[in-house]
Amino acid sequence: MGCPASAVPRAGRPAASSASRALRCTKASSEDLIDELGRLPGVGPKSAQRIAFHLLQAEPADVRRPADVLIEVKDKVRFCSICFNVSQDEQCRICRDPRRDRALLCVVEEYKDVVAIERTREFRGRYHVLGGAISPIDGIGPEQLRIRELMIRLADGAVTEVIPATDPNLEGEATATYLTRMLSPMGLRVTRLASGLPVGGDLEYADEVTLGRAFAGRRSADD
């Protein structure tokens, strides 16, 4: 096993073609690298190729550094035991922060929505990450989401207002409606974000100002 010595690129030979030839005779080829990069969100085939050739020509240390960071983050990351946001500790920094208003709970689909809402600096409560949205066509019902965990959280009465901030699309709306119907009879104030978010899109793609305004202008779901 292993490459013939002649195929291994020598130091000082910057040509990407020699590096890709060398990789082709190992288990992982440059094509594999392009394929893997192309799987990343937002990276098309051309970008994948560009990144791959950049990496193949880079100094080994410059490639190892981001690779190490990637592996370390992936190893350490877990989900907050309270809100299911990504966290490096048992509880995320938002749940640990005593300055956050415990009476306000924003329910989102994914942890990336937490990032989007945090960017607006408009919301000072805490979050609950459902892990998706109700979508019968994909076989996702309420029991596939962290709704049971939400109910457990609400049991102590500390939360008085719940804000379902799901994506402004069919699945997100279905999820928000389900939550409103379930939570309103419990005496909780359920508020919805003000309109203005781009319909059909993802919450995470809304710009900060629009999302911030939607939070500031939220109103009772019964209105």
Residues that bind Zn ion (CB under 5 A): 80, 82-83, 85, 92, 95
Q: Smallest gap, in angstroms, from Cβ of residue 143 to Zn ion?
A: 22
**With respect to Zn ion, which residue has the nearer C-beta, 80 or 183?**
80
**With respect to Zn ion, which residue has the nearer C-beta, 68 or 97?**
97
**With respect to Zn ion, which residue has the nearer C-beta, 80 or 159?**
80
Task: Please list the residues that pair with 106 across neighbouring strands.
Answer: 127, 163
The edge-to-edge listing of strands for the beta sheet with 219-220 is 126-129, 104-108, 161-164, 189-192, 219-220
Q: Smallest gap, in angstroms, from Cβ of residue 86 to Zn ion?
A: 9
**With respect to Zn ion, which residue has the nearer C-beta, 80 or 108?**
80
Buried b / exposed e over 33-71, threshold 16 CB at 10 Å, is: bbeebbeeeebeeeebbebbbebbeeeeeeeeeeeeeee
Q: Smallest gap, in angstroms, from Cβ of residue 129 to Zn ion?
A: 8
Distance CA 182, CA 101 (A): 23
Distances (CA, A) of 129 to 10, 132, 162: 50, 8, 13
Q: Smallest gap, in angstroms, from Cβ of residue 146 to Zn ion?
A: 12
**With respect to Zn ion, which residue has the nearer C-beta, 83 or 106?**
83
Residue 54, CA atoms < 13 Å, CB-side half-sphere: 9
Taking the CA atoms of residue 66, residue 71, residue 75 and residue 80 in that order, the dihedral angle to the nearest 10 degrees is 40
Q: Smallest gap, in angstroms, from Cβ of residue 128 to Zn ion?
A: 9
